[in-house]
Structures are given as C-alpha cells and as structure tokens.
Amino acid sequence: MTATPKLVSLVIKNDLAEMARVSELVEDIGQKHGVPAEALYAVNLALEEILANLISYGYADEGEHQIIVRFDVEADDFVIEIEDDARPFNPLEAPAPEVEAPLTEKPLGGLGIHLTRTMMDGMAYRREREKNIL
C-alpha cells in the first residue's frame, strides 16, 4: 500500500441497495493503493455486516437517513469510519455468540458482529452529537 494518506467519503442512504456502492468504492480504493485481495475481501465482508445490521435494525422509523462512510489508506492500514444517526448501539458491547452451542439452541443474530470483530485488526466506537461513530 502507498504511504500517502487518502481520505475518501461516501454518503449513502439507509437502503440495503446502497451497499453495492460501498463495495465498489472499497474495490476501487484498494486497487489504487495496492491493497491485497484477501484484505479487500475482509473489508467488504465486515462493511456488509455492519451496514446490513445498521440499515435493517438501527432506525426507529422508516424515513430516509444518511450514513457517512469514510475511508483512509495510510501505510499498511485501511481505516474505515461509519457515522450514522441511528439508535445508539455499540457493537463492541454486544455479547459474544455461543458458537459452540448446538444450532437448535443458538439465538438468532450476533454472528455478523462477532465475525466483524474477529476479522478486523481493531474497532472503536463513540457517540457524539446524537451520532454513532464506528
């Protein structure tokens, strides 16, 4: 990857169809900066999980909302920040799923967050100005 920081922002609506735009931008940024294909796959998968949860469960109303996705590539880091006005939710506080439990005993949900936390090198969350920032 290049050593020059490159900050790119994308504003999407809270619509699952918008996730394709995010994926295309990840691929474009990754190719321009020499990000390995395996890393791009992990980034896209993590973003898909986070955005799908946010769009599907984050909003109390059916109205249109904006989600800002920021990308920064610096040295060996592909840093992504997601800002939204959904209900407060810190995915880092979500309990780990019972991955060893039999399938019939597992509650629905939680695996996407777990997958994302294990795939990324690091995650941080804060709530500012009525916004979630991950």
Per DSSP, the three-state class of 46 is helix
Complete DSSP assignment for 61-80: SSS--EEEEEEEEETTEEEE
Residue 84: its H or E element: strand 77-84
**pLDDT tens-digit series, residues 16-64:** 999 999 999 999 998 888 888 998 999 999 999 999 999 999 999 999 9
Reported pTM: 0.83
Taken in order of first residue, the domains within the chain and their CATH numbers are 6-133 (3.30.565.10)
Find the mean pLDDT for residues 112-131.
84
